[in-house]
């Protein structure tokens, strides 16, 4: 006769969390630059678009100089549009009234739920648009990426930075140029016909940095169509090493690549290095920090794939009237590693003399995953992409799609999703003689991550997922970090608590140790690693640690038989059947 016994040892709970940095947020700073010396009146149009995500959202647009606020409310996956009045335009318009200086020409946008924000700057036939980065994606170190200003009309290349905290010291090429309080702007322009690409802009506290060319011509003579450029720059810490540049409806685009470190080497397919660009390097090897190269990329090359051995910044430029309609515009290109699984985008609603009438979303992903991307409009059901065709780049293994965006519903957002691989998405618009705009619509703007391993149990997706499934049969556990951006780290904290006691508070056990070893009794624990960076950005990672208990069954029958199973390590909480076998 067999006897059955049961040994119950903790059911392991599995959980993980990591705080991601993206181009959506709840706190934004914005300013504008002048267009060719024109005042912000008449046919000038400054517009803000705020796109809500999955929840009804309320927010405020605050004008620092005026001390006035505009409240707004947005339904889920809808868009709020605000057109600035003339008095508001003068309160945010840098460069028309003053020489390089510090002033309170800023806008502060806050919301109760995460949103994405875009801004358009248009004056008659010139202008551009930009995405606006949340405070969580800002940094203290940038390089200017822009273009040479027009050779007539006294046009200049320029930039503006906004302080997000009091007593912010701003430096240009390592020389202090201003001390700003929160919400104040330092605006600087170079001599007429200048190009400030490669200028190093830094601060002792996080700042928002905007490239603001008053009127540029990024195409060769004899064409002379010009437009202002308007693009918020991403901080150096978000730069990457692998890029793909899709090409818009134009027959070619110009791509600038700026090095962040000395002795940078770049390889690329799809572009030709331009050798006639003032200030640019003529080869891709041994670039020093702040140096740049410029590529010409024709549409026939199906996009451009770029790799670097050190982090670089990349911008592409619509060249203006070459073939299809449109004026110059500038767009920041995030690295491929900042791809996302979902993104919201909305075209601009142009008014007055400006009549941009063609709006597009351009996105790229891995070719094997292109059929997995869907779009839902205004909260509707997801559908296949329509109105365009996929363009495949076999050498890069990437494909991009140009989808027309309708303006029949000016409050509806387009919600793109992928069920397999990530993607990056851009918005742009054109019209024959009335300007263009181009901007990155959504990305994981910051290349930061913080995970850890235990006794060599490695993982890279999520946080602690493999560790939570692993049974450790030893009691001495060595933890090792894998932190991207460790050079910016200010503080590192380790916490522990019992996994089966959610009401129990974490206990701080180690600080500022990237590797450490402790003895753990058998049981289930939650280990939490918290990283705090110099700008107070926080990343946290939790993993479940299961220390097994050794069970050595012994004979239990009076007759003395053997017991199955044999001695083994089990999770605390396991339900084990012990069977007494006959002689």
Q: Which H or E run includes 429? A: strand 423-430
Average the pLDDT over 80-104 and give the result.
80
Q: What is the pLDDT of residues 481-493, one digit of tens each?
A: 877 767 778 899 9
Q: Are strands 414-418 and 423-430 parallel, antiparallel or unpaired?
A: unpaired
Rg (CA), the chain: 28
CA dihedral (185, 190, 191, 196) positive or negative:
negative
Q: Are 61 and 48 within 8 A, CB to CB?
A: yes
Mean pLDDT of the chain: 82
Q: Which H or E run includes 465? A: helix 465-469
Buried b or exposed e, range 45-66, using 16+ CB within 10 angstroms: bbbbbbbbbeeebebebbbbbe
Q: Which H or E run includes 228? A: strand 227-232
Query: Which residue intervals of 37-144 are DSSP H helices?
Result: 86-90
Residue 135: count of CB within 10 angstroms of its CB = 19
Check residues 53 and 580 and name the one with the higher pLDDT.
53
Specify the range with the lowest mean pLDDT, choosing from 251-255, 432-436, 438-442. Answer: 432-436
Tell whether the model's pLDDT for residue 307 goes beyond 60.
yes
Tell whether the model's pLDDT for residue 383 goes beyond 50.
yes
Check residues 176 and 33 and name the one with the higher pLDDT.
176
Grouping H, G, I as helix, E, B as strand and the rest as coil, residue 20 is coil
Q: Are 434 and 353 within 8 A, CB to CB?
A: yes
Structure confidence at residue 6 as a pLDDT band (50, 70, 90): very low
Query: Which residue intervals of 293-449 are DSSP H helices?
Result: none
Alpha-carbon distances of 486 from 192, 221, 239, 455, 533, rounded to whole Å: 41, 47, 15, 21, 8
Tell whether the model's pLDDT for residue 393 goes beyond 70.
yes
Alpha-carbon distances of 224 from 221, 319, 327, 431, rounded to whole Å: 7, 11, 10, 16
The Cα angle at residue 46 between residues 432 and 151, in degrees rounded to 5: 55
Structure confidence at residue 270 as a pLDDT band (50, 70, 90): very high
Beta-bridge mates of residue 170: 178, 203
Residue 122, pLDDT score: 78
CA dihedral (223, 227, 228, 233) positive or negative:
negative
Specify the range with the lowest mean pLDDT, choosing from 324-333, 365-374, 441-450. Answer: 441-450
Q: Whole-angstrom Cα distance, residue 434 to residue 469? A: 59
Q: Which H or E run includes 431? A: none
Residue 77: count of CB within 10 angstroms of its CB = 22
Residue 351: count of CB within 10 angstroms of its CB = 13
Average the pLDDT over 158-172 and give the result.
95
Residues of the chain with CATH 2.60.40.10: 9-17+449-550
Q: Which H or E run includes 211? A: strand 200-216
Place of tokens 């069970």: 551
Tell whether the model's pLDDT for residue 5 goes beyond 50.
no
Specify the range with the lowest mean pLDDT, choosing from 52-66, 94-108, 230-244, 558-572. Answer: 558-572
Show the tokens assigned to 425.
């998405």
Q: What is the pLDDT of residues 274-287, one digit of tens each?
A: 998 889 999 999 99
Residue positions counted in the chain: 583
Place of tokens 């070619």: 252
Check residues 189 and 460 and name the one with the higher pLDDT.
189
Q: Which of 340, 344, 329 is nearest to 376 (CA)?
A: 344
Q: What is the pLDDT of residues 98-118, one digit of tens each?
A: 544 568 999 999 999 999 999
Q: What is the pLDDT of residues 512-567, one digit of tens each?
A: 999 999 999 998 888 888 888 776 667 777 778 889 988 876 655 555 555 555 67
Instruction: Look at the domain 9-17+449-550 and name its fold.
Output: Immunoglobulin-like (2.60.40)
Residue 17: count of CB within 10 angstroms of its CB = 12
Q: Whole-angstrom Cα distance, residue 565 to residue 556? A: 13
Tell whether the model's pLDDT for residue 430 goes beyond 70.
yes
Alpha-carbon distances of 571 from 16, 59, 520, rounded to whole Å: 19, 49, 14
Tell whether the model's pLDDT for residue 460 goes beyond 80.
no
Tell whether the model's pLDDT for residue 312 goes beyond 90.
yes
Check residues 542 and 447 and name the one with the higher pLDDT.
542
Structure confidence at residue 437 as a pLDDT band (50, 70, 90): confident
Main-chain phi, psi angles of 458, to 5 degrees: -100, 150
């Amino acid at each position: 006769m067999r006897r059955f016994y049961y040994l119950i040892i903790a059911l392991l709970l599995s959980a993980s969390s990591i705080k991601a940095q993206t181009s959506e947020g709840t706190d934004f700073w914005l300013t504008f630059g002048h267009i060719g010396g024109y005042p912000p009146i008449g046919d000038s149009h400054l517009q803000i678009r705020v796109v809500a995500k999955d929840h009804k959202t309320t927010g405020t647009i605050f004008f620092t100089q005026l001390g006035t606020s505009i409240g707004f409310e947005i339904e889920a996956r809808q868009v709020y549009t605000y057109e600035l009045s003339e008095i508001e335009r003068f309160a945010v318009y840098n460069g028309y009234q003053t020489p390089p200086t510090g002033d309170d020409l800023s806008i502060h946008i806050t919301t109760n739920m995460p949103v994405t924000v875009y801004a358009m700057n248009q004056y008659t036939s010139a202008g551009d648009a930009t995405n606006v980065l949340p405070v969580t994606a800002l940094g203290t170190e940038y390089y200017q990426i822009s273009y040479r200003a027009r050779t007539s009309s006294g046009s200049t290349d320029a930039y503006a930075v906004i302080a997000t905290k009091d007593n912010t010291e701003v430096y240009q090429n390592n020389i202090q140029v201003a001390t700003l309080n929160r919400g104040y702007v330092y605006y600087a322009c170079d001599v007429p016909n200048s190009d400030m690409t490669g200028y190093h802009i830094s601060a002792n506290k996080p700042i928002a940095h905007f490239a603001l060319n008053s009127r540029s011509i990024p195409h060769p003579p004899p064409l002379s169509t010009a437009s202002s450029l308007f693009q918020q720059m991403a901080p150096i810490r978000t730069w990457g090493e692998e890029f793909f540049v899709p090409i818009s409806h134009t027959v070619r685009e110009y791509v600038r690549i700026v090095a962040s470190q000395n002795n940078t080497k770049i390889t690329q397919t799809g572009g030709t290095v331009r050798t006639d660009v003032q200030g640019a390097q003529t080869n891709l090897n041994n670039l020093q920090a702040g140096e740049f190269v410029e590529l010409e990329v024709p549409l026939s090359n199906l996009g451009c794939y770029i790799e670097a051995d050190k982090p670089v910044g990349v911008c592409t430029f619509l060249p203006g009237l070459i073939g299809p309609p449109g004026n110059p515009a500038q767009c920041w290109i995030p690295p491929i590693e900042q791809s996302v699984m979902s993104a919201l985008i909305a075209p601009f609603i142009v008014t007055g003399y400006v009549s941009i009438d063609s709006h597009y979303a351009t996105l790229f992903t891995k070719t094997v995953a292109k059929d997995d991307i869907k779009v839902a409009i205004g909260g509707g059901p997801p559908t296949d992409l329509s109105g365009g065709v996929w363009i495949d780049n076999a050498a890069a293994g990437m494909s991009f799609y140009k989808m027309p965006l309708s303006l029949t519903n000016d409050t509806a957002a387009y919600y793109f999703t992928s069920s397999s691989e990530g993607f990056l998405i851009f918005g742009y618009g054109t019209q024959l003689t009335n300007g263009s705009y181009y901007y990155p619509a959504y990305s994981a703007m910051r290349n930061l991550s913080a995970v850890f391993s235990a006794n060599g149990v490695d993982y890279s997706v999520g946080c602690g997922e493999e560790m939570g499934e692993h049974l450790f049969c030893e009691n001495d556990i060595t933890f090792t970090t894998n932190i991207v951006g460790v050079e910016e780290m200010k503080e590192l904290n380790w916490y522990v608590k019992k996994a089966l006691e959610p009401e129990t508070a974490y206990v701080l056990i180690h600080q500022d140790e990237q590797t450490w070893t402790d003895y753990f009794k058998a049981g289930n624990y939650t280990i939490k690693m918290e990283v705090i960076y110099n700008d107070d950005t926080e990343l946290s990672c939790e993993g479940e640690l299961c220390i097994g208990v050794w069970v050595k069954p012994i004979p239990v029958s009076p007759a003395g038989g053997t017991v199955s199973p044999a001695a083994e390590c089990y999770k605390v909480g396991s339900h084990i059947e012990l069977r007494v076998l006959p002689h």
